[in-house]
Amino acid sequence: MNKQNLLLLGVAFTSLFIGGVVYQHQQADFISTQGDNFKWSTMQEQTVVVNYFAEWCAPCLKEVPELNAFEKWTTSQPDVEFIAVSYDPLSAQKLTEIIARYDMQFPVIGATGDNFPIDLPQYLPATFIVKSGNISKPLLGEQTVESLIKAVLAQP
């Protein structure tokens, strides 16, 4: 093998290695059933509101209209992100059915993956505020758009 072929082979392997590193870095930590990609490392500068729910939880379903209103408010806030997480491990198809049935107008996550910073809560519904890596104590029970906005604005 001559020097030119050896050099080309080295460049090819180096490019492949760098491409693999970049690809892994760009992968999402979790994906909503609506197709939104989320990566915690890019969300560190934002306030992230995380609501845990389950279909069998009546208060969880009762608060959906308030969560829809909160989602609408968050779209006007440059540094606030809202996501809901299914308490139960459900298939994407089942989650999609639940989203349609209850008119959930916000990102819903089924599988959170290893990098998700919040453990499953003991009670539902439970809402957490994550700001600068700090996780609030859960807001337990049904929330209103007003209580959520107040909680977000109160976080230092």
Mean pLDDT of 6-20: 48
Structure-model confidence comparison of residues 21 and 41, the more confident one: 41
> What is the 3-state secondary structure of the chain?
CCHHHHHHHHHHHHHHHHHHHHHHHHCCCEEECCCCEECHHHCCCCEEEEEEECCCCHHHHHCHHHHHHHHHHHCCCCCEEEEEEECCCCCHHHHHHHHHHCCCCCCEECCCCCCCCCCCCCCCCEEEEEECCEECCCEECCCCHHHHHHHHHHCC
| Model confidence band, residue 1 (pLDDT cutoffs 50, 70, 90) | low
The whole model's pTM is what?
0.79
pLDDT band for 40, please (50, 70, 90 cuts): confident
Q: Between 3.30.420.40, 1.20.120.1200, 3.20.20.450, 3.40.30.10, what CATH number should domain 30-154 receive?
A: 3.40.30.10
Burial class (CB in 10 A: 0-12, 13-18, 19+), 50: buried
Question: Average per-residue pLDDT in the chain?
Answer: 84
Given this model, what pLDDT does residue 84 score?
96
What pLDDT, on a 0 to 100 scale, did the predictor assign at position 148?
A: 97
Query: Does the pLDDT value for residue 121 go beyond 60?
Result: yes
Looking at the predicted structure, is the pLDDT value of residue 30 above 60? yes
The 10 Å Cβ neighbour count of residue 88 is 14
Q: What confidence tier does 116 reach under pLDDT thresholds 50, 70, 90?
A: confident
pLDDT exceeds 90 at position 10:
no
